Amino acid sequence: MKISHLALAAALLLPAAAQAAEPTAAEARAFVADAEAQLSAYSDKAQRVAWVNATYITDDTDAMAADAGAEGTLLQVKLAKQAARFNNVTGLDADTSRKLFLLRQAIVLPAPDTPGAAKELAEIATRLQSAYGKGRGTARGKEVVGNDIEALMGTERDPAVLKEMWESWHKVGTPMAADYARLVEIANAGAKELGFADTGAMWRAGYDMPAADFEKLIDRLLAEVQPLYVDLHCYTRAKLNQKYGDAVQARTGPIRADLLGNMWAQDWAGIYDVVAPKGAGDVGYDIGELLVSKGADPLKMVRYGENFYSSLGFAPLPDTFWKRSLFTKPADREVVCHASAWDIDNKDDLRIKMCIKVNSTDFVTIHHELGHNYYQRAYKAQPLLYLNSANDGFHEAIGDWAALNVTPEYLVKVGLLDAAKVPDASRDIGLLLRQAMEKVPGMPWTALVDKWRWGVFAGATRPADYNKAWTDLRLKYQGIIPPGPRPADAFDPGAKFHIPGNTPYARYFLARVLQFQFYEAACRQAGWTGPLHRCSVYGDKQVGAKLNAMLAMGMSKPWPEALKAFTGSDQMSGKAMLAYFAPLQAWLKQQNKGQKCGW
C-alpha cells in the first residue's frame, strides 16, 4: 500500500495581497517548494497512523485513521485549489508545471469545502475498510475469516460448499451500500470544486492524457487481448461441465462465478487440476509442495523474494524491514490481511503487510509486493511530488514482471526444484495453461471494476442499481454469473477490498499489459532465444541496472518516456502478452472445435 502523498498534502495559505495579484512563475516555484516540504512532514505521520490501523484494528485506531484522513483530505483539497491559481501563468518551466498538475489532480477522494464534509468522508472511508477487514464468511456452517475463505475457494470442489462460501462472503458488502452512496456524493462534490465532472473523470485524468483518451486506451487494450480470454473461457467451461454436469455448469453461456477457484473469478489458477490436459497437464511440480518439502516458513518465503531482486544487483532490504513488517496473521487482534507494500518515511522504512500462507499463490504475491518496495527505494532521491511510479500501473507491473520470472529454471537456481525434474518441452502447454489461468482472467476483471465505479461516479448508475450494474458488467466482460439469485439489498462490489478501500483499479489492468512488455524487453536484453515463457533473467545484473534506471525516474517524466527507457517503445500494447501465450491459444482453439464459445 502507498498512501498518495498528494492525498496527505498540507495547505499553504498565501497572503491576501499575493492572492489578489496575478501570480508569477517565481511564485509558482516557491509554492511548489513549500508544498513539498509540508507534504513530507504530513506524510510521515499519516503513514504511521495508517499502518497501525491496518495492523491493529480497534475502534480507537479507526478513529485515529479517520481523523488523519479527514485532516489530510481537507488540506489536500485546499492545496489543489491553490495550485489551480497558477493554471494560466506563463513562463513556467516543465518541472514546476508538472508538479502543479500533480497537486491539482492526484487525489483519490476529494472533499468539498462544506463544513464537516472532509470529516464525514474520512469516517465513511475508514468505516468501509474496517468493515471489510472484520468480514466473515462460512464454509460448511463454520465461520471463516476473509483470508482463509479466499484460500478455500481454490481447494474446495463441492459446488454446494462453494456456493455457501461465495454467498456468505458477499454478505460483507450489504451493510456498506448506504455508506458507499454517501461517499460517492461527497467525493463528487469535491471533484467538481476542483474542476472535474466527477470523481471518476478526475481519476482518469492522471495518465498524461485527456480522460476520454484514457478510456479509449483501456478499451483498445482490452479488445486486443479479449479473444485469448474468450478461448480460455470456452475451454474452462467445457472442463467444468465435464466435472459437475449440466445441473451445476451448463455447456454453453456464462460460467458460475464460484466454480473458478477464486472469490471474484479474477484468477483461475486454483482449478488448474480441473482443466489440466491429460499427460501434458502434469508439469511435474507444485511450488507450494516444493516450499513445504524445503521446510519453508513465511519468513523464508520472503527471503526467496528478496534473493530474486538481489540477483539483479539491487541492495538487500534494510534490517527494519524484517523487524517491522507483518508476515503472518496475529492471533490476538484484527488486521487487514490483504497484501500490501509500504514506504513509511519515503526513504528506507520499507515494509510489507501479509498474512502469508506457505503456498504457490503467496510465493508469487511476495515477489509482487517486494516489487513495490524496490520501486519505492529506487525513486527515493526524487522530489516528493515525484515519489511514485511513472503511472500507477507501473508500480503494479514491476512485481508481476518479477513473478513471470518464476520459471522452472529459476526454481532450480534457487534450490527449490531438482534440475532432473525440470519439465521438458512436452509440458509447455501445461505450463502455459497454468500461467494463463492466473493471468488472463484478470484482464476483463481489472477493466470492469473501474468501469463500474466510473458509471457510479458519473451518475449513470444509481444506488438502487449498484448491484445490477455490477452483475451486468461481470456478465458482459467476464462471462460469469452469481451462483444463485442475488438479494434485493446485495452490494457485491463491497466484497472486493478495493471498493471499500477506495483504491482505483485501472492500475491493475495496465499492469497486466505492462508486465509482459517489461518481461519481453528484459528477455530480449538478456539475449534469451528460447520460448518466451521459459525465460528468467534471474542473476542478470545488466537487466537489473537498466530496470533500476527506469524505476529511479519515479513520476518525474510522462509514463511513455519511462516505458521507452526500458522497452524501447512509448506505446502500451497487448502484443507481448499474446506472444507469450501464442502456443497455448493455438492449442485452445483446437480443443474448442465444435464448442459454442462466448456467452
Please, are residues 19 and 82 in contact by the beta-carbon 8 Å criterion? no
Q: Which of 557, 459, 563, 531 is nearest to 187 (CA)?
A: 459
Q: Which residues contact 110 (CB under 8 A, 6 or more apart)?
A: 73, 76, 77, 80, 187, 190, 191, 193, 194, 199, 202
Mean pLDDT of 469-485: 98
| pLDDT above 70 (res 1) | no
Amino acid at 101: F
Mean pLDDT of 352-367: 93
**For residue 480, what are the β-bridge partners?**
255
Q: Grid coordinates representing 385?
A: 511530488
Which of 367, 368, 395, 533 is catalytic? The answer is 368
CA distance readout (Å), 560 to 317, 394, 550, 568: 29, 11, 11, 10
Confidence category of residue 281, pLDDT binned at 50, 70, 90 = low
Please, are residues 578 and 560 in contact by the beta-carbon 8 Å criterion? no
Active site residue 396: yes
Mean pLDDT of 265-293: 89
Q: What is the pLDDT of residue 9?
A: 38
Length of the chain: 599
Torsion, Cα of 303, 414, 400, 444 (10° steps):
-120
Q: What is the pLDDT of residue 117?
A: 93
What is the C-alpha end-to-end distance of the chain, expressed in Å? 36
CA angle, residues 275, 277, 278, in degrees to nearest 5: 125
| pLDDT above 70 (res 575) | yes
| pLDDT above 90 (res 4) | no
Tell me how far apart the 2 most distant CA atoms of the chain are, in Å: 79
Active site residue 338: yes
| Gap between the Cα atoms of 436 and 277, Å rounded | 14
| Gap between the Cα atoms of 491 and 470, Å rounded | 9
Q: Which residues contact 342 (CB under 8 A, 6 or more apart)?
A: 1, 2, 47, 51, 350, 351, 352, 353
Torsion, Cα of 175, 181, 186, 187 (10° steps):
100
Amino acid at 586: A
Confidence category of residue 278, pLDDT binned at 50, 70, 90 = confident
CATH entry 2.60.120.10 includes domain 287-440+506-591? no
Which of 5, 170, 498, 533 is catalytic? The answer is 498
Least confident of 49-58, 80-89, 132-141, 218-227: 80-89
Over residues 380-409, the pLDDT tens digits come to: 999 999 999 999 999 989 999 998 999 999
Over residues 207-227, the pLDDT tens digits come to: 999 999 999 999 999 999 999
| Gap between the Cα atoms of 339 and 392, Å rounded | 17
* Orientation angle between helical segments 25-55 and 59-83, nearest 10 degrees: 170
Q: What is the DSSP string of 137-160?
A: EEETTEEEEHHHHHHHHTT---HH
Please, are residues 457 and 108 in contact by the beta-carbon 8 Å criterion? no
Active site residue 132: no
Cα 47 → chain centroid: 19
| pLDDT above 90 (res 104) | no
**DSSP annotation of 169:** H
Torsion, Cα of 317, 319, 324, 329 (10° steps):
70
Cα 298 → chain centroid: 22
Active site residue 369: yes
Which of 233, 338, 367, 533 is catalytic? The answer is 338
Rg of the chain (C-alpha set)? 24
CA angle, residues 345, 347, 348, in degrees to nearest 5: 95
Mean pLDDT of 433-449: 96
Active site residue 508: yes
| pLDDT above 50 (res 7) | no
CA distance readout (Å), 455 to 14, 105, 110, 198, 208: 37, 20, 18, 10, 22
Which of 36, 123, 156, 396 is catalytic? The answer is 396
**For residue 277, what are the β-bridge partners?**
none
Which of 71, 369, 438, 520 is catalytic? The answer is 369
Confidence category of residue 55, pLDDT binned at 50, 70, 90 = very high
Which of 42, 477, 505, 508 is catalytic? The answer is 508
**DSSP annotation of 592:** T
Please, are residues 9 and 35 in contact by the beta-carbon 8 Å criterion? yes
Domain layout of the chain by residue ranges: 6-107, 287-440+506-591
Mean pLDDT of 252-272: 96
pTM, to two decimals: 0.87
